[in-house]
Amino acid sequence: MDQYKKDFIDFMVASDVLKFGEFTLKSGRTSPFFMNAGAYTTGEQLHQLGLYYARAIESAFGLDFDIVFGPAYKGIPLSVVTAMGLAELFGKEVQYCSNRKEVKDHGEGGNLLGASLQDGMRVVMVEDVTTSGKSIDETYPLLTGAAKVDVVGLMVSLNREEVGPSGSKAAIDEVSDKYGFPTAAIVSMHEVIDYLFGKEVDGHLLIDDALKNKLDAYYAQYGVKSC
């Protein structure tokens, strides 16, 4: 595993973004872990988050694009800090763009904020996680309806590696199949488990044998079988 991935896992834990326990998801599933990107609240946390996204995007998709697009609401700050991270790490100047949940009917109006989309622009989309693809289903038509843009790829912070609505593939893979652009994650949940299992964090094991058994049982029921 690349060092930046290990560093990112440590960063999620230290920021209290990745938690282990018992959590009820929107899907109704009871999960032994939960990732909440909304817990990144400080300036330095957001700064580091943007650098991790920038590094992962460069590794997965390269730097030949013009716009970072983040679906509202959590994708709005993600798109901003990722654009800043790309400038800092690679000297790559890109613009950010996001959608509004409600169309603005005054001022400049419209349902997008940030950069104005133009024909021929190349776009990278950013999200925290993709569990059903619903936000992409809502925002992809906005992107392609605003201009003839080319979506280079979708980057998420964590691939939960659970089956999506089709019941056979991970949600981010379903997005890729449906829309024809590549998807990637800074880390996968199996990378997280492999890295943290048996590793002491602040003097105790974050993933001990008991929790590992719960995680294994969860993925036996909901996980993508090829993982």
Active site residue 190: no
Q: What is the distance, to the nearest Å, from the Cα of residue 5 to the centroid of all Cα atoms in its chain?
A: 14
CA angle 219/32/210 to nearest 5° reads 85
Inter-CA distances, 153 with 57, 120, 178, 184, Å:
9, 15, 13, 8
Closest CA to 188 of 219, 145, 146: 219
Annotation says 106 is catalytic: yes
Give me the numbers of helices (H) and strands (E) for the chain, helices first please.
7, 10
Q: What are phi and psi of 198, to 5 degrees?
A: 80, 0
Cα–Cα distance for residue pair 124/89, rounded to 1 Å? 17
Q: 114 phi and psi, to 5 degrees?
A: 90, -140
**Four-residue CA torsion sign, 194, 61, 19, 174:** negative
H/E run at residue 162 = none
Q: Looking at 5, 47, 101, 104, which residue is catalytic?
A: 104
Active-site choice (5, 26, 101, 106): 106
Residues annotated as part of the active site: 104, 106
